[in-house]
């Protein structure tokens, strides 16, 4: 009996589960290890905060998906690998053996880099914890008119979360801190300027070209020693790698992400596959759900081929991704390469894409 272990229920692995539900692998026991029985879809998280979705609408239930795929669901967090013995070590003390291992655990938040971040910050990952803490923030803000919050990180996620919080909490004192002159670094300049004007119009204080160096109970300390008072500090500082892949001896890039070749196999351990934000592709791409989703079908196909002893197929991610950034008011900004647009119809388009993605993996979508 061969054993395939899927570590993490991320965007690529839900495709693998979907593929297994359609065609199971002969003589293979498949186990999904995930700390939570559902996968919250980050693309709809700002919409949940803004009040556009119920949390259940943003979550893919993993247990029924695994059940339909004939996959054993193990609720645990992987905390280490023994690559010689081919075992995944879990946080409940158990060890899960594998013949083939596929890793799609996503990134962690780079909170350790800011002093006090672990104690006083609200990291965006794990998203389940973030959701609980946002619920608490909303309750606190509704109870206290002087409540304040700051968000560290002004990429697409930081901007979306700031605008969503504003939509939900019109009176919250809110600041967005970024290290660049304008928010949405890397996206078209027109969109950056538009985002900046939106922050002003929504009374969100923009603090650009500054770095947060510490968080304490009073707020955020910036690199020039200015303090930004805040009762709640959200950390949306980008994707960092978990430490256990490198500690296990997997080949990783300088950031600690698992280096994979075009077949999505680890360059050091071909029985290990990785996809999504935790992977460092041969031809690097930004850390983005779009690329994690796109890796799903080739990952499913290559896992099937590996187990059948067939030749694997090379895959290369598309060059560009479409960025859709909701602005909290059922409107959205979009960027494709140098092109950018915005409007209510852009939000409806995003809403349609997101709901279609969720429907595919829901009970009725199969």
Ligand X SMILES: Cc1cc2nc3c(=O)[nH]c(=O)nc-3n(C[C@H](O)[C@H](O)[C@H](O)COP(=O)(O)OP(=O)(O)OC[C@H]3O[C@@H](n4cnc5c(N)ncnc54)[C@H](O)[C@@H]3O)c2cc1C
Residues at the interface with ligand X (CB under 6 A)? 7-12, 33-36, 39, 42-43, 45-46, 77-78, 104-106, 124, 126, 157, 160-161, 276-278, 287-290, 292, 324
11-22 and 289-308 are packed helices; what angle lies between their axes, rounded to 10 degrees? 40
Is 101 or 312 the residue whose CB approaches ligand X more closely? 101
Buried b (16+ CB within 10 A) or exposed e, 120-138: bbbbbbbbeebbebbeebb
Task: Give, to the nearest 10 degrees, the angle between helix 344-361 and helix 11-22.
Answer: 50
Q: How far is the CB of 164 from ligand X (least distance, A)?
A: 9
Least distance to ligand X, CB of residue 92, Å: 11
Q: Which is nearer to ligand X, 16 or 25 (CB)?
A: 16
What's the min distance (Å) between Cβ of 202 and ligand X? 17
| Smallest separation (angstroms) from ligand X to the CB of 361 | 12
Determine contact, residues 100/3, Cβ cutoff 8 Å. yes
∠ at Cα 66 (65, 72), nearest 5°? 165
253, 247, 240, 261: which is closest to 316 by C-alpha?
261
Q: Select 221 or 281, whichever has its Cβ closest to ligand X.
A: 281
Residue number with CB closer to ligand X (36 or 349): 36
The least distance separating ligand X from the CB of residue 213, rounded to whole angstroms, comes to 22
By beta-carbon proximity to ligand X, the closer residue of 35 and 297 is 35
- Give min distance, CB of 160 to ligand X, in A: 6
CB 30 within 8 A of CB 64: no
DSSP secondary structure, 46-76, as one string = HHHHHTSS-GGGGEEEHHHHHHHTT-EEEE-
Name the residue nearer to ligand X (CB basis): 35 or 97: 35
CA end-to-end distance (rounded Å), the chain: 28
């Amino acid at each position: 009996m061969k054993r395939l272990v899927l570590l993490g229920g991320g965007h690529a692995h839900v495709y693998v589960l979907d593929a297994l539900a359609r065609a199971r692998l002969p003589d293979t026991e498949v186990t999904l290890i995930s700390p939570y029985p559902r996968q919250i879809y980050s693309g709809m998280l700002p919409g949940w905060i803004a009040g556009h979705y119920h949390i259940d609408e943003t979550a893919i239930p993993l247990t029924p998906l695994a059940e339909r795929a004939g996959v054993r669901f193990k609720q645990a967090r992987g905390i280490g690998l023994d690559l010689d013995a081919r075992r995944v070590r879990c946080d409940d003390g158990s060890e899960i053996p594998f013949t083939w291992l596929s890793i799609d655990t996503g990134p962690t938040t780079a909170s350790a880099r800011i002093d006090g971040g672990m104690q006083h910050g609200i990291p965006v990952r794990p998203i389940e914890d973030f959701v609980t803490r946002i619920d608490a923030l909303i309750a606190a803000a509704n109870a206290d008119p002087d409540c304040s919050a700051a968000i560290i990180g002004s990429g697409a996620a930081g901007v979306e979360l700031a605008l969503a919080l504003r939509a939900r909490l019109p009176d919250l004192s809110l600041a967005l801190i970024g290290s660049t002159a304008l928010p949405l670094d890397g996206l078209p300049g027109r969109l950056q300027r538009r985002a900046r004007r939106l922050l002003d119009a929504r009374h969100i204080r923009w603090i650009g070209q500054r770095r947060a160096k510490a968080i304490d109970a009073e707020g955020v300390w910036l690199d020039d020693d200015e303090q930004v008072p805040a009762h709640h500090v959200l950390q949306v500082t980008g994707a960092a790698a978990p430490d256990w892949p490198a500690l296990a001896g997997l080949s990783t890039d300088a950031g600690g992400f698992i280096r994979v070749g075009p077949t999505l196999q680890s360059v050091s351990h071909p029985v290990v596959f990785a996809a999504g934000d935790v992977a460092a592709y041969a031809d690097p791409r930004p850390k983005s759900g779009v690329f994690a989703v796109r890796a799903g079908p080739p990952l499913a196909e290559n896992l099937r081929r590996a187990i059948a002893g067939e030749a694997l197929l090379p895959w290369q991610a598309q060059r560009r991704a479409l960025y859709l950034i909701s602005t909290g008011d059922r409107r959205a900004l979009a960027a494709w390469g140098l092109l950018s647009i915005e409007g209510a119809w852009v939000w409806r388009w995003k809403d349609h894409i997101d709901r279609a993605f969720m429907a595919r993996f829901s009970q009725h979508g199969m």
